[in-house]
Structure 1
Amino acid sequence: MTKSLPLRGRNFRWGERTYVMGVLNVTPDSFSDGGKFVTVDAAIAQAIQMVRSGVDIIDIGGESAKPGAIPVDEATELARVIPVIESIRQHPDLQSTTISIDTTKASVARSAIAAGADLVNDVSGGQFDDEMFATVARLGVPYVMMHMRGTPATMQQMTDYDDVVGEIIAYFETQIDRAVKSGIDRAKIILDPGIGFAKQYQQSIEIIRHLDRFESLDLPLLVGVSRKSFIGKILNQPDPERRLWGTSAACCAAIAKGADILRVHDVAEMVDVSRVADVMFRN
């Protein structure tokens, strides 16, 4: 699969290299970096650092999706993300940066795109808001569709799979069909198998080992392993910020199995991992 997706004046050419999406959580309660970037100044400083490190997309989120996270209302989420998006668009060093809005709410997606975001990253895959697919279709922007079961509060009690990869593929087939029937251009859909979302330790590993099975869907694949709990279990490391080398290994494995985008916290390091892994595993 070598197809291109134009975004903010550049072409993302799937299959030719790995793209890096940097996480910018403007939340007080995200699992790894909650509270670090809640002010606009701190968020902009982090965005500048990520751009200098070679990031391809900055993913801005105003609501945590960690296990057990407490939902926030629309007004709170908008108050967190819109000033940051607007400030990035006004900053001379960041104006050309591709921005993703990490939200499950159609209204937040709509406002974020109006403020200058370029694509929508929905961890619910269109399950939480019946208006999401129609909204994305009207906006005409790319859409990251993630797999999960339940909500952040309940998802870790919903991990019973007979064939975790096969069931995720079946889910995607259903949701892609729904999205396309709602008017979303299939060529603008990106898939995320949702590592750690309603997945146990061994299931997350199984997904990474068999990412190549998703090739049957013929869509680009985003993988988010950064600092996640399965890495902590392997390393016996409870502190997410001390899982850098484990994250590097997992990212390298994901690239070897066909990941197109890596969603990461440690941008500079994972840009290096991607460059070397691309030489090793891509034509």
Structure 2
Amino acid sequence: MTDGPRVMGIVNVTPDSFSDGGSCSDLPGAVEHARMLIESGADIIDIGGESTRPFADPVSLGAELERTIPLINAIRTFSDIPISIDTRKAEVARQALTAGASLINDISAVRGDPDMLAVIADSDAEVIIMHMQGTPDTMQVDPRYEDVVGEIYDFLAERLATLAAAGIDPARIIVDPGIGFGKRLQHNLSLIKHIDRFAGLGRPVLLGHSRKRFLGDLTGCPAQDRDLATAVVSALCLDKVSLLRVHDVAATRQALRIAQAISQAD
């Protein structure tokens, strides 16, 4: 019998998020959204202060700190839920850990800031390393692969080895194939179909498919109306991943509950 994957609820504290139009860009709104995700059954809250949508421009260190650290402090006044900081910046990660985060979600796989390795090594935080072809401002220009699953598997294996060589216990690392980050529709579908192959890396696998463009390509729905499609993919991956990063925790919980009941039936 399986308990299923953990569910990570997303709080984008940005004015230009692709998925929610900046609805959580102010602190009170972000706090209430985090509270709602917790009440809906989130296991982890993932906080990001920089949009990583295709063609997004980077934000300054100061702006990212102003968006994320007060929110972590606010959540810690009413909940001890694990908090993930979604950042490529070492100083944001360092201050977030001090404020109460316990997981660093780095879409650059610890390549974006030369100081990030030291921040991770000097802490006991978990870290998510994600594959991305290019950077947010270039990744969807012309992504190409000969073997998308094999190439991303090899990339993540190399990053695991690099972090281990820096003294970071592999037991602290989670891998993410990076759905939508430098991938076309067929790349994303292949990665999800074969997502269980990444378990061969010996680490928990995160799937971050929520409201992504490939779901819009398949359904014709705008980003805000892709939660049903997100929940379907979540249910299909019930026994294949360890974490699901989603916007609508309640819908995902329902889908997982049904999928689990069916899988456990006689």
TM score, norm. by length of structure 2: 0.95
CA contact (8 A) 1:255 1:281 kept: no
**1:245 aligned to 2:228?**
yes
Q: Which amino acid aligns with 2:204?
A: P
Unaligned runs of 5+ in 2: none
**1:123 aligned to 2:110?**
no
C-alpha displacement of 1:106: 0.8
**1:203 aligned to 2:190?**
no
Query: Which segment is superposed worse, 202-211 or 150-159?
Result: 150-159
* SS of equivalent to 2:133: coil
Q: Which amino acid aligns with 1:270?
A: T
**1:262 aligned to 2:249?**
no
C-alpha displacement of 1:156: 1.1
Task: Give CA deviations for 1:149-196 in whole Å, capped at 9, x if unaligned.
Answer: 211001113511011000001001110011111121100100111000
**Structure 2: distance between partners of 1:32 and 1:187:** 31
CA contact (8 A) 1:126 1:133 kept: yes
Correspondence for 1:227 among 193, 208, 211: 211
Query: Which segment is superposed worse, 113-122 or 273-282?
Result: 273-282
RMSD over aligned Cα, in angstroms?
1.4
Runs of 4+ deviating beyond 6 Å: none
C-alpha displacement of 1:281: 4.5
Map 1:155-166 onto structure 2 (within 5 A): 155-166=139-150
Q: Which amino acid aligns with 1:274?
A: L
**Structure 2: distance between partners of 1:248 and 1:89:** 28
* SS of equivalent to 1:187: helix
Task: Give CA deviations for 1:181-223 in whole Å, capped at 9, x if unaligned.
Answer: 1121100100111000000011000000001111211110110
Provide the aligned length of Structure 1 versus Structure 2. Answer: 264
* SS of equivalent to 2:140: helix
Unaligned runs of 5+ in 1: 1-14
Q: Which amino acid aligns with 1:188?
A: R
TM score, norm. by length of structure 1: 0.90
CA contact (8 A) 1:155 1:198 kept: yes
C-alpha displacement of 1:275: 2.3
Correspondence for 2:9 among 11, 22, 26: 22
**Structure 2: distance between partners of 1:254 and 1:66:** 24
* SS of equivalent to 1:157: coil
**1:175 aligned to 2:166?**
no
Match of 2:36 in 1: 49
C-alpha displacement of 1:282: 7.3
Correspondence for 1:64 among 43, 51, 68: 51
Q: Identity, % of aligned pairs?
A: 44
* SS of equivalent to 2:76: helix
Task: Give CA deviations for 1:98-122 in whole Å, capped at 9, x if unaligned.
Answer: 1000000111100000011111000
* SS of equivalent to 2:92: helix
Task: Give CA deviations for 1:94-150 in whole Å, capped at 9, x if unaligned.
Answer: 2x1110000001111000000111110001111111221221111121001111021
Q: 1:199 to 1:219 in 2, by over 3 A?
A: same
Correspondence for 1:185 among 148, 169, 173: 169
Correspondence for 1:79 among 62, 66, 84: 66
**Structure 2: distance between partners of 1:205 and 1:267:** 22
* SS of equivalent to 1:184: coil
Q: Which amino acid aligns with 1:253?
A: L
Q: Which amino acid aligns with 1:49?
A: M
**Structure 2: distance between partners of 1:233 and 1:209:** 17
